[in-house]
Amino acid sequence: MIGILDYGMGNIGSVSYALERIGAKSAVVTDAQEIGKCDGLIIPGVGAFAPAMKRLEQLKPSLKEFVASGRPMLGICLGMEVLFDEGTEGGKCAGLGFLEGSVKKLEGAPKLPQVGWNTIEITGESPLFAGVASGEYAYFVHSYACKPKKAGVTIATTEYGERFACAVGGGNVFGVQFHPEKSGAAGERLLRNFARMT
């Protein structure tokens, strides 16, 4: 069973419907006890880094325990950003720290936020991207980008003003800056791959 974490910042309905569409069993979870029962966990997110972490702070111990158990976790958009050490939106703020690096405003972007379709270039191997080809389109809504400290963490990149990591993976922790639940066939394949991992 895949848990969809509701911490008041997520695109819960769209993610839930996307998982239902591919036949994956899922449930919305809100507390440590429910998180502990999940085989996989998705952290969705729409909004700003600092308010998100304020809500996630009390769940941090149970999320760390979940990651330590080896079960797969997927952060989507803001949910990917909070996986890192820190964010800079509204001032420096500590993240969950599952991946080394920071989150900073996109540089050289023609307009912020980036809203709409953009291509992804796959730069690393990951079971999350099985059957997804470089050059496929994904749907983005964001103004900030993740800057991983380790090059090997980046799975795919996108260019919007600057080239940035749009998908990352370290151990059993994964993140995508785009919204797979809104990204057509490529997004559906990615969610199917995550469901298989669980």
pLDDT tens digit sequence for 8-53: 887 799 999 999 999 999 999 999 999 999 999 999 988 899 999 9
Q: What is the CATH number of the domain that holds 124?
A: 3.40.50.880
Q: Is the pLDDT of residue 2 over 80?
A: yes
3-state helix/strand/coil string of 34-80: HHHCCCEEEECCCCCHHHHHHHHHHHHHHHHHHHHCCCCEEEECHHH
pLDDT at 91: 84
pLDDT at 151: 83
Portion of the chain with pLDDT greater than 70, in percent: 100
Is the model's pTM score more than 0.85? yes
pLDDT at 9: 83
pLDDT at 86: 97
Q: Which residues are catalytic?
A: 77, 179, 181
Looking at the structure of the chain, the number of domains it has is 1
The parent domain of residue 148 ranges over 2-197
Q: Is the pLDDT of residue 93 over 90?
A: yes
